[in-house]
Amino acid sequence: MYRPQKLNSKYIMKVLITGSSGYLGSLLVNFLVSEKIAVVGIDNRKSEALPPGDFFKFYLCSITDKAVLEEIFLREQPTHVVHFACTFNKVRDRKKELFIDIGGSENILNVSNRTLSVVQIVHSSSAAAYGGWMDNPEWIDETHSLRPGKYRYGMNKKAIEQIYLSATVRDNLRIVILRICTVTGPFFTSDRIILRLLTRFPFLPGFCKDCKIQLLHEDDFVSLLHKVINDGLIEGVYNLAPDSFAAVRDIATDKKYFMFPAGVIKSILWVLWNLKVLNLQPAGINNSIYPIILDPAKLQSRYSYKFRYTTTEALAATPHKKKH
């Protein structure tokens, strides 16, 4: 039996999270449940990291199954929807990938719009939508053009943003797009290859040495998302990232670097990608070579937020051995 938190006199907050078994989804689920906020999780797999108890209910469901989504929304009557679910490079079939990422995101938007209890949708976009380019400014704000190049993950995020921002929805339904940098911390379990390289391998490609990286600690991630969810007026696009970054050479001081041209690395990645050994599309290597450093000022100033952790501290909190 739910004992959800009363947000105000008009309604009781209940947050529906897609991709609730993933790394980001499970972080937010556990945080909201610890705050005694009712959460409904949707995913195509169930994770042991999800909390038991009265404040969490889980549904095994794909975002591509519109009929089942409609039943869940009708039954649960969520007030907020946080949309994390995506393939994140795991599907090599482009048609299937688009069906899940684009089609599934459209389902979430349409079902949310028809469910009158929903007052806010938060879509998890990515820094990858900006793309890695030589002419990127040191700090990229929300007005910067989205240029994901041929990197499919970034292309998908850009396409979903365009769908959400151009959609005609109810007047009382607010849409928030969060362009998120890499998140890490003590519970890191993601397939982000850059963090696996930084935390588990003694060697790095030479071109990585001077690369700039930006990492958001889990605690800052959930704290800011909590503020967004409780903000009844926020809408539009915001970067979600710390106000710090670091060069790889300064935060990975114990690494040895081997000199290979980036073109050779891309060729190796192409083979490993197609063999499904690594979850990094070769086109994504530019995002590591050229900096994508997000300017968080717009969101930070809205809440007068002081980040608890720097990029360097977020990496230091990341497990250096693979979790089992």
pLDDT of residue 285: 74
Tell me the β-bridge partners of 180. Answer: 126, 240
Segment 203-220 mean pLDDT: 83
Contact 129, 179 (CB under 8 A): yes
3-state helix, strand, coil in the chain (%, to 5): 40, 20, 45
pLDDT per residue as tens digits for the range 280-319: 666 677 777 788 999 999 999 999 999 999 999 999 998 8
Both tokens of residue 259? 């000199």
C-alpha distance from residue 272 to each of 88, 189, 205, 269 (Å): 16, 20, 16, 5
Which is it for strands 174-180 and 14-18: parallel, antiparallel or unpaired?
Answer: unpaired
pLDDT at 195 over 90: no
Q: Which CATH architecture has domain 14-189+214-245+293-316?
A: 3-Layer(aba) Sandwich (3.40)
pLDDT of residue 5: 45
Instruction: Give domain limits for the chain.
Output: 14-189+214-245+293-316
Segment 148-158 mean pLDDT: 94
In the three-class reduction of DSSP (H, G, I as helix; E, B as strand; rest coil), residue 42 is classed as: strand
pLDDT at 201 over 70: no
Calpha distance 52→70 (Å, rounded): 24
Q: What percent of the chain has pLDDT over 90?
A: 66
Calpha distance 63→22 (Å, rounded): 14
pLDDT of residue 2: 34
pLDDT of residue 9: 41
pLDDT at 1 over 90: no
pLDDT of residue 51: 80
pLDDT per residue as tens digits for the range 52-93: 788 999 999 999 999 999 999 999 999 999 999 999 877 878
Exposure of 166 in the CB half-sphere (CA atoms within 13 A): 7
pLDDT at 177 over 80: yes
Segment 155-182 mean pLDDT: 97
pLDDT of residue 7: 46
pLDDT per residue as tens digits for the range 225-243: 999 999 999 999 999 999 9
pLDDT of residue 260: 67
Q: What percent of the chain has pLDDT over 70?
A: 82
pLDDT of residue 291: 86
Strand order in the sheet with 120-126: 56-60, 38-43, 14-18, 80-83, 120-126, 174-180, 236-240
Neighbours of 113 (CB within 10 A): 16
Q: Compare 247 and 274 and report the one with higher pLDDT.
A: 247
pLDDT per residue as tens digits for the range 4-46: 444 444 568 999 999 999 999 999 999 999 999 999 999 999 8
Q: What is the pTM of this model?
A: 0.89
pLDDT of residue 256: 74
Positive or negative, the Cα torsion across 111, 117, 120, 126?
negative
pLDDT band at 98 (very low <50, low <70, confident <90, very high): very high
pLDDT per residue as tens digits for the range 271-286: 766 776 666 666 677 7
- Which of 83-92, 150-159, 191-200, 261-270 is predicted least confidently? 191-200
pLDDT band at 206 (very low <50, low <70, confident <90, very high): low
Question: At 237, phi and psi to the nearest 5?
Answer: -105, 135
pLDDT at 268 over 90: no
pLDDT at 253 over 80: no
Mean pLDDT across the chain, nearest whole number? 87
